[in-house]
Structure 1
């Protein structure tokens, strides 16, 4: 009468897999460390771009993606770039256009005081500004107020965020020098991601700019249009605002530029994923080395188990389970480290912390696969030991 082959229950397999943690905890921790680093890197390099994209979507929700920017290109003989004086009114006639505003480069120079050299411009421009500019580009005043119908006629100026920093202006009621005229700062703007040129500018009223020799020809138009018609408006905008020379009008979508900038910032993700793969390979080699040494050290245990009835399948399963459990614990630790790293980085940058669920599952799956690959050879080597050979080992 043949005896039925014995089987190890799942509970027994888990207990056997956890045995290295009980008998050699330091070795087990060091072996799993490489796996943890690899999985943590995998989570971080996918979580940080996901958090960045989530922040970008929130930013777009606040700023809007239906903004178009029409800019005058320099002429063939390098004459100053500008649009016709009636270009704002012409753009407003486009049906899907909801808001139209404009700025114009006055070619004036702004300085902190009259003691600053005339050649020192700090890289800032002085823009004549329509009163509806902030509403069109969805900007906000950080301190003070924006230009109004009353103040646009007087020497009042609103500074962009970068301009205020470079001029050393932190609060309104400060005076700056524009050409030979003193202007009073009445407001400072918040950052404008979709209009960085405004951040680097001093904004004066359309009427007050005439004192600076302004010819009332806009250089940049901003349009808020219906989202569904944005491509159509983009196509007809150049001939509409500059019928004589439409080729001198460049139309862009600032949100596209911001997206490209964020994508550029994430170009190292592939490299980091490669490093995560290297860390997993190194960790897997470490686990395999640990398991091979474990086989050599536990020959007597293997021989005793074989003498008591364990077959080769039991031995293979035991060592393979130990390897998988070791890597899985390293994977769990790596996922937790990756989540903490991603959350910390996101909070530091003011982003929502986002980690795709697929990344966590992929990390744990990679740990299990690494455990299987790393444990196959030691498990097969252990199963090939005969009881007499194993018990006779020194």
Structure 2
């Protein structure tokens, strides 16, 4: 009776079998697996944190910049012209008809002096401007009243004023009583009652140095001719440059060259530059974090192959193919990196959320960075496991068992 010398066929391993073998290696070396996973967890968590925290900070910064008026333009006549350039009286209405424009208002220089009392020098205006103001000015310039109240349809026709923050300080007006007569200032030869003081407007220092009179009152008491000096225009932020391009022709079709329009706010330029800077920073820090995690996984897998040579030799002697050995160790590497990536993502989200909430920022966890972290962990596991798995597959049964 002859013996069958045909070598047994290797049993095919399903993906589920490979996963079980990979996890078996992690379960039998729990401490080392945990430490290795900790390394890649810290790397992925770092990526989430360094993208989540700056993104939350950036969102808070953008909210503050937008509140200051990054979508605001100013239009005025060309300065230092003789005679002075006068904007058309109907220019506010014409600009309001531009599609992307959301708000428009105006002020006008009355070319009068303001004094704290009739006993001060009639030629000393304290460096302040007396401006005729429309009722819709405050929302157009993102300003708010600090003390008192803004002009109303009733008070804009009477000798009442609202002071800018610096104007109030120079005129010595620190408070406006809720009831009873308020402090008065003299404009020209007329006493005006102060009804409010504005909060500081960081992007419009000219308003801080202004004394604001109602549009009708300026015409009645200060000989104002009704021509606006400066128009304040708000538009949708993505259309600021387009609106700026058509404003001169819209405001004064006859002499568009005499209309000067401010460029978009410096805050808007800073906002866009900040976005670009943050993006470059995110990429650099994320790459460094993944590199550190990948080195940790690769080091663990190489040591694991060296320590498990007897196991490799025994499996090879029992019929395991080189492909199955490669698959086992590659699966173990990917599983190790994925577990670390999941744990690191959870840790990073938790830290970034807590930090943002502590500082009162909007919580922003970029979905792209979260998904990239998980995908990066898998990719790192594959790359880190390629060399150890190939090295393990190249071991012969006799060479591996010789170390027993």
TM-score w.r.t. the length of structure 2 is 0.69
Inter-partner Cα distance in structure 1 for 2:72 and 2:225: 26
Q: Which structure 1 segments of 5+ residues have no match?
A: 112-117
- Counterparts of residues 51-200 of structure 1 (less than 5 Å): 68-75=73-80, 84=86, 86-93=87-94, 96-97=97-98, 100-104=104-108, 128-137=132-141, 141=145, 144-152=148-156, 153-154=158-159, 156-157=161-162, 159=164, 173=177, 184=194, 186=196, 188=198, 196-197=204-205, 200=208
Indicate which of 18, 36, 40 corresponds to 1:35: 40
CA 1:346–1:87: 2 relative to 1, 3 Å: farther
* SS of 1:353 mapped into structure 2: coil
What TM-score results when the alignment is normalised by the length of structure 1?
0.71
Deviates more, 1:270-279 or 1:36-45: 36-45
What is the deviation of 1:252? 4.9
Matches within 5 A, 1:349-388: 349-351=360-362, 353-356=364-367, 358-388=368-398
How far is the alpha carbon of 1:249 from its aligned partner? Answer: 2.9
Aligned: 1:338 with 2:343: no
- Residue aligned with 1:340, SS: helix
Q: Secondary structure at the match of 2:107?
A: strand
Distance 1:197 1:263 in 2: 23
The Cα of 1:68 is off from its aligned counterpart by 4.6
Matching residue of 2:273: 264
Judge which range, 205-214 or 218-227, deviates more.
Answer: 205-214
Counterpart CA distance in 1 for 2:287 and 2:170 is: 45
Per-residue displacement from partner, 1:51-103 (whole Å, max 9, x unpaired)?
Answer: 68877998999999986531445437xx99x752x534234245715864213
Across the aligned residues of Structure 1 and Structure 2, the Cα RMSD in angstroms comes to: 5.2
Give the distance between the partners of 1:4 and 1:283, measured in 2 at CA.
39
- List alignment gaps of at least 5 residues for structure 2: 1-5, 117-123
- Residue pair 1:131, 1:147 contacting (<8 A) in 2 also: yes
Cross-structure match for 1:5: 10
Q: Look at both structures and tell me which one has the larger radius of gyration over its CA atoms.
A: 2
- Alpha-carbon separation, structure 1, partners of 2:135 and 2:155: 10
Specify which of 327, 342, 345 is matched with residue 337 of structure 2. Answer: 327
Partners of 2:236 and 2:319 in 1: how far apart?
78
The count of aligned residue pairs is: 377
Closer, same or farther in 2 for the Cα pair 1:383/1:232, shift >3 Å? closer
Answer whether contact 2:163 2:198 (CA < 8 A) is retained: yes
Q: CA deviation at 1:374?
A: 0.6
Query: 1:311 corresponds to which residue?
Result: 321
- Residue by residue over 1:230-264, the C-alpha shift from the partner in whole angstroms, topping out at 9 and shown as x without a partner, is 8886445325545786435333575x765533222
Could you tell me how far apart the structure 2 residues matched to 1:293 and 1:7 are?
Answer: 27
